Amino acid sequence: MVDKQQHQILDAMGIQVWELRHSIISPIEQPGCIDTSDPEVEAKVEVRATPPAIAKLDWQDLQQTVAGCQACELHSTRTQTVFGVGDQGADWLFVGEAPGAEEDRRGEPFVGRAGQLLNAMLFALNLKREQVYIANVLKCRPPANRDPAGKEVQHCEPYLLRQVELIQPRIIVALGRFAAQSLLKTTDPISRLRGRSHQYADTGIPLVVSYHPAYLLRSPIDKKKAWADLCLAQSLLGALS
């Protein structure tokens, strides 16, 4: 059941909650979620290996390596690197595009209004920010929030791959077009990537695509779709249990 506070959060997000009149709720049904127990599953496999020098790094060494990284031009304009935050053994991994101005200043991904919206969506799923892991494809801010360049992604991606290896999440949610296209190595538009399960590289980890919270702040009408995406992710996670 959705408690009063979750109702308020979902209401604020513009999401209508449907609840069963009977209390027969299967383990994979979640508050306010559509039953997506039989989602279309797309097996999209691509092998991506972590470079040996990075593959042996533990959390501390990885974070230090990222903090000192000058592999692409973005190092010269960053205030600091934005490594990632959250539970290093989380079931859920959320991946966005790259740090914005506030993230660059504070050294943490998804802060500010977009971060608050993500926190609210997590809360509606009975999750706290500290219970998931949140990272970006790029660890440094592109100047003027421009789209990351292909070479920058190429240089930075091994760090995210190593984070995935260390976390071993059970579900990955790609937030926004850029993160989705980078993680899935596709140019398909987000409208074609949402609503189904993908697989991250050759890891076997299911990946769901949703909108970036910053986009949802500009287009609140799509919050319902974002909620459906999170429900799909939760359903996939429940099916793995």
Interface ranges with ligand SF4 (CB under 6 A): 66, 69-72, 74-75, 81, 138-140, 152, 155-156
182 versus 210: smaller Cβ distance to ligand SF4: 182
Single-letter amino acid code for the residue at 196:
R
Task: Quickly count: other Cβ atoms within 10 Å of residue 18's Cβ.
Answer: 9
Say which residues have a Cβ less than 8 Å from residue 191's Cβ, sequence separation at least 6.
Answer: none
Q: Are 183 and 207 in contact (CB under 8 A)?
A: yes
Give per-residue burial for 23-33: e unless 16+ CB within 10 Å, then b.
Answer: eeeeebbbbbb
140 versus 193: smaller Cβ distance to ligand SF4: 140
d(CA 162, CA 61): 11
Single-letter amino acid code for the residue at 21:
R
74 versus 134: smaller Cβ distance to ligand SF4: 74
Sheet-wide strand order for 206-210: 85-86, 133-136, 92-96, 171-175, 206-210, 198-199
Give min distance, CB of 96 to ligand SF4, in A: 13
Give min distance, CB of 138 to ligand SF4, in A: 5
10 versus 156: smaller Cβ distance to ligand SF4: 156
155 versus 162: smaller Cβ distance to ligand SF4: 155
Burial class from Cβ neighbours inside 10 Å (0-12, 13-18, 19+) for residue 110 reads buried
Give min distance, CB of 235 to ligand SF4, in A: 33
12 versus 49: smaller Cβ distance to ligand SF4: 49
- Nearest CA among 151, 152, 203, 145 for reference residue 176: 145
